[in-house]
Amino acid sequence: MTSLETLLEKARQYEEDLISFLSGFVQIPSVNPPGDMSQAAAYVEEFLGKWGLPTRRIEPEKGVITIYSSVGDGEDYLMLNGHMDVVPEGDHDKWSIPPFSGRVVDGYLYGRGASDMKGGLSALIYAYAVFTQYVDSLDKKLSLAAVGDEEVGGRLGSLYMAKELGIRPRYVLLGEPSTLGYYNIGEKGIVWYRVHINGEPAHASVSPYVGRNAIKMATEVINRIYGLAEIDFDVPEELLEVARKSGEKARKMVGAEGLEKIFFRLSCNAGIINGGVKTNVVAPNCTVEFDMRIPHGLTVDKVIEMVRERLSDIEGVEIEKVAGEDPNYTRPDTYLGKVVEESAGAEAGIRPEPSLVMGATDGRHFRAYGSEAVVYGPGEWERIHGYDERIKVDDVKLAYRIYLRTLYRMLVG
């Protein structure tokens, strides 16, 4: 059996190849929407084929592709997971370096998807290839999934694998950009809903004495709902310390006072408002669309119930739930998390801490079916989804080596 020291020594010879692979990957405009992953999937598929690794193309709908590979026998133990799709790049003139150049400048590789998350996925792909090249006879299954639709919810990628194909490994390591000082074990929930407000029309010349203006009523509705974001809720006991530290991290990263409470509170955003029929008519109707992110300890149904209670005394109000997912998490003492901590410590002298995130990853789909999912990957948060997105080249190489240590510890011992 290859020793860990030998594996790491062999691995270093591929680090420049890894960066070249990432550069080529970023040059592929795998933008979602529209979501055609054909070119990106072929790129990953061809690479794995050159390493003699088996691949399976999963394509529930044309162009929405997952490249899946697995080695080893026995228990479906550990999956490496990342997404190939990226968000639209926006106005090219606002990029100082073209968004699909994959160019390296002053130690950073630039381009859409560099941090979110072709950098992390490339490091996972190389770790998978190198590990399986030098370590054989695994008595547990190791798999890799490069999915194609995380940026639009993951329904036909990670969720399809877990729900429809029954691919539910015990552990899932996702290379999303947690930054290397943290690994994410849980995500707030989300609920989207519409509040329909029915007023009473009248001629504008007699307002506000006659009629009931639904747009004016909407201001009261909005204020009451925003009041829910001022309540501190109880999170599960085992998440208390993680929630507190995650809030402090968010406040420091964003620089917004009060954000330290975000994992104990609902967030609230009235994102769209439509109402009225004509300038000189008292508005007979108005609809406000809300996005709320849900702390652990609450559910989608409970939030909708609280909203209904808040608005119960306002005549003519109806609530329509559009979509929602409950909060999810992997327990803080998960073995995979501890191995990531130890591997990062041994390789880089850092001790990443467990954290929660406000957004969503594909980890939630695997947690829903019993997997313990941990998110750990390189990236520069400040520019994700923005102009001049980039990733530090040395962080990609470091993540690759940490992943290799993690694989060795999880699968060899």
Domains along the sequence of the chain with CATH: 4-187+327-411 (3.40.630.10), 189-231+266-325 (3.30.70.360)
* pLDDT of residue 137 exceeding 90: no
Report the DSSP pairing between strands 108-110 and 104-105: antiparallel
* Averaged pLDDT for residues 13-28: 98
Q: Which pLDDT does position 27 carry in this prediction?
A: 98
* pLDDT of residue 178 exceeding 90: yes
Look up residue 137 and give its DSSP letter. Answer: -
* Averaged pLDDT for residues 92-106: 98
* Averaged pLDDT for residues 35-54: 98
Q: Which pLDDT does position 399 carry in this prediction?
A: 98
Residue 328 — very low, low, confident or very high, per pLDDT cuts 50/70/90? very high
Residue 207 — very low, low, confident or very high, per pLDDT cuts 50/70/90? very high
* Averaged pLDDT for residues 390-407: 98
Token pair 């968000």 is at which residue?
A: 87
Q: Is 400 helix (H, G, I), strand (E, B) or coil?
A: helix
* pLDDT of residue 335 exceeding 90: yes
What token pair was written down for 141? Answer: 């299954």
Strands (E), 36-75: 56-61, 64-71
Across the chain, what does the average pLDDT equal? 97
* pLDDT of residue 83 exceeding 90: yes
d(CA 196, CA 266): 21
Residue type, 107: G
Which among 122, 66, 111, 68 is positioned nearest to 377, based on CA atoms?
122
Q: Which pLDDT does position 55 carry in this prediction?
A: 98
What token pair was written down for 9? Answer: 């020594």
What token pair was written down for 297? Answer: 């300890």
Whether the Cβ atoms of residue 221 and residue 317 lie closer than 8 Å to each other: yes
* pLDDT of residue 254 exceeding 90: no
What are 339-364's pLDDT values in tens digits? 999 999 999 999 999 999 998 999 99
Q: Which pLDDT does position 136 carry in this prediction?
A: 84
What are the residues facing 53 on neighbouring strands? none
Residue 1 — very low, low, confident or very high, per pLDDT cuts 50/70/90? confident
Q: Which pLDDT does position 390 carry in this prediction?
A: 98
* pLDDT of residue 253 exceeding 90: no
d(CA 211, CA 200): 5
